[in-house]
Every structure is written in C-alpha cells, then in structure tokens.
C-alpha cells in the first residue's frame, strides 16, 4: 500500500477536494483505496457523504488515534466505511473506503499526540500496518497547519504533495510544508522519509483571466522549487457543488473539464511516484507561458483583407 499525504499549512487552497478527488480517481482507475480524514473539521468525510456526529464517535478515526496514543492495542478494521457505491455509475472495479473523522475525538487525539511528542509520531503508521495488503493506496487529508496531526500523517506517509491557490499566502504555506517534509526523517529518527511529489495549482484561471497575483504565484511556484505539476485544476462551481452533494467531481463529472483535469493530475502523481525527480516534467513559469503565447501570436501571418469591387 502506497500512502500519500496531501498537506498544506494554509487553509483555503482546496486541500480536501484535492485529497478526495485524488483518492476517488484512483478508485475509478480500478485501485483499492482508503482515504483517511485526519482533521477535526472532518471535511473529507463530508465530501464523500459521511458526517459523523457525537453519537457516532465509536466510528471516528480520532478515537482510534486516542486509544493507540495511550498504548492500548486497537484496530482500524471495525471503523472502515465503504463508499464504493459512488463508483457504480462508472462501473469501476476499484474500492473506495473511508476512515472518517469527528470533531471532538480528533481534537482530543491532537492534544494527546502533541503531549506525547516524537514517541507518538508512529501511531498512525503502526495502525495502518494491518491494512497493508488490503489497499493499493491510502490518501491522507490533513489539517491546514503544521501540528501534531500533520506530523503523525507524514510519519505514516510514503509520499507527500502540497498545493497552492492564486493567492500569495499559499506560497508561504507550500514552502513551509516542503521544508517540513524534508525534515520528517530526522524528526522521526529515520522511521519515515516521505518522498515529496510536488505542488498542485488549484482554483486557477485561464491565461486571459490572470491577475498580477496569479502571475506571481505561478512564477514563485517555479522559483521556490515547489516542482509544480503541469496539470492545474481550474476554479469550477461543479467541484464545490460535488462536495456539497457528497460525490467527488472526478466521479460526478468524469467527462467534463474538471473531471478530466483531476484524471490528468492523477496520471502525473502516479508517474512521479515511479520515476526519479530529474525525469519529471515541471510546469513552466507564468513568464515563460506568457512569452510563448506572445511569440505564437506574433508568428501568425496577418490575414489579407479583400476589398469589395465597385460596379
């Protein structure tokens, strides 16, 4: 099982929709996938149509993390929620499972893990060991901050990716997260060393609609060595609408532009997992794209005007 953590220090760039659509895309491709909702807001569960309440705390991943953090043996198998029914309309043979979160139990788990420090960093890694042969992929949706829950997720991950939106503040968050990923091995005494896969530009716009801020973000993603994916995900009301309905856009709109973009993003993620970094195709900067567009426009020969004849 390959474990992928989707991380972002800043809230708002679309981390949950990216996590859920990445996992759902994997399942559509025929893989067996489990998505872990590792944040108190429990948004990944909502994006899959599952909302745990106080009466459902026994099904919460947060409760399992609390129990494990206190050294009590436990299992994740009895809280797995099967959402493979979402794939039926696409006739996929994959599986889409969820380990859901609930606000109070996940917040309590965060406090326990923080108090436990480095010694508790491997809690999730050990819990997932029993599921190693059950899934092809696990995708982690993590909180929008550098905190104990992120540390536990990264200590369990084999890969990590981050994302930016066309807002300058998201660059800082992505750079901080890349630095955090680099130091996981040291902070876990060599237990984990996730491979950084790059940064996705989410909520982007067509070139004709770029603001100066979006141009700056695109340039900084390259200049800061965030290794941006060539695929970007455009701002699209169908994505947020799918979240509200509990069906990922890559499933609900598989043939639409948003669904196809998520599918292309998945292709890049899988390719980067299997190839060395020096062979990755990296998105060009905004300046390079604008220069290429200008050159292409100037190379088009002017159309000949035809004067109407006079009788």
- The pLDDT confidence band at residue 300, using thresholds 50, 70 and 90, is low
pLDDT in tens, 11-61: 778 899 999 999 999 999 999 999 999 988 889 999 999 999 888 999 999
Q: Can you give the pLDDT at residue 82?
A: 97
pLDDT at 93 over 90: no
Across 188-211, b (16+ Cβ under 10 Å) vs e yields beeebebebbbbbbbbbeeeeebe
Q: Report the C-alpha gap between 163 and 72 in whole angstroms.
A: 35
Mean pLDDT of 99-112: 92
Does the pLDDT at position 274 exceed 90?
A: yes
Residue 252 lies in a domain: yes
CA 44 to each of CA 24, 97, 277, 299: distance values in angstroms, whole numbers, following the listed order = 11, 12, 29, 47
pLDDT tens per residue, range 75-89: 999 999 999 999 988
The number of domains in the chain is 1
Mean pLDDT value of segment 153-181: 92
pLDDT category of residue 146 using cuts at 50, 70 and 90: low
What pLDDT does 90 receive?
A: 83
Give 213: exposed, middle or buried? Use CB within 10 Å, 0-12, 13-18, 19+: exposed
Q: Is the dihedral of CA 125, 130, 136, 141 positive or negative?
A: negative
Instruction: At 56, give phi and psi (nearest 5°).
Output: -110, 20
- Report how far apart, in Å, the C-alpha atoms of 157 and of each of 49, 177, 189, 210, 265 are: 25, 14, 15, 35, 19
Residue 304 resides in a domain: no
Boundaries of domain holding 126: 2-285
**What span, in angstroms and rounded, lies between the C-alpha atoms of 204 and 186?**
35
The reply to whether 295 falls in a domain is no
Residue 250 lies in a domain: yes
Q: CA 200, CA 259: separation in Å to the nearest integer?
A: 15
Comparing CA positions, the residue from 175, 260, 251, 171 lying closest to residue 216 is 171
3-state helix, strand, coil in the chain (%, to 5): 50, 15, 35
The CATH number assigned to the domain holding 10 equals: 3.40.50.300
pTM attached to this predicted model: 0.91
Residue 264 has pLDDT above 50, yes or no: yes
What is the percent of the chain with per-residue pLDDT over 90, rounded to a whole number? 71
Local confidence band at 303 (pLDDT 50, 70, 90 cut-offs): low
Q: Are 153 and 4 in contact (CB under 8 A)?
A: no
Split at pLDDT 50, 70, 90, the class of 311 is very low
Q: Which residues pair with 162 in a beta bridge?
A: 199
* 61, part of any domain: yes
Task: Answer whether residue 13 is part of any domain.
Answer: yes
């Amino acid at each position: 099982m390959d474990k992928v953590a989707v991380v972002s220090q800043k809230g708002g760039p679309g981390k949950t929709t990216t996590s859920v659509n990445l996992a759902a895309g994997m399942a559509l491709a025929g893989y067996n996938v489990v998505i872990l909702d590792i944040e108190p807001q429990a948004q990944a569960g909502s994006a899959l149509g599952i909302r745990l309440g106080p009466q459902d705390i026994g099904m919460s991943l947060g409760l399992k993390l609390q129990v494990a953090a206190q050294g009590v043996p436990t299992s994740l198998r009895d809280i797995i929620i099967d959402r493979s029914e979402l794939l039926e309309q696409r006739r996929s043979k994959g599986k889409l499972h969820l380990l859901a979160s609930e606000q109070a139990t996940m917040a309590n788990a965060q406090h326990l893990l923080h108090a436990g420090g480095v010694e508790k960093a491997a809690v999730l890694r050990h819990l997932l060991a029993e599921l190693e042969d059950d899934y092809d992929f696990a995708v982690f949706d993590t909180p929008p901050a550098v905190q104990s829950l992120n540390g536990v997720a990264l200590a369990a991950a084999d890969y990590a990716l981050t994302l930016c939106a066309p807002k300058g503040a998201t660059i800082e968050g992505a750079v901080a997260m890349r630095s955090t990923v680099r130091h996981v091995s040291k902070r876990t005494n060599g237990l984990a060393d996730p491979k950084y896969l790059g940064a996705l530009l989410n909520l982007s716009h067509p070139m004709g609609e770029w603001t100066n801020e979006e141009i700056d973000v695109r340039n900084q993603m390259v200049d800061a060595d965030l290794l941006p994916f060539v695929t970007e995900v455009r701002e699209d009301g169908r994505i947020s609408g799918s979240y509200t309905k509990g069906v990922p856009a890559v499933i609900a709109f598989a043939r639409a532009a948003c669904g196809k973009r998520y599918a292309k993003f998945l292709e890049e993620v899988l390719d980067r997992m299997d190839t060395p970094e020096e062979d990755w195709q990296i998105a060009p900067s905004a300046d390079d794209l604008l220069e290429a567009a200008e050159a292409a426009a100037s190379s088009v020969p002017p159309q000949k005007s035809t004067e109407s004849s006079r009788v």
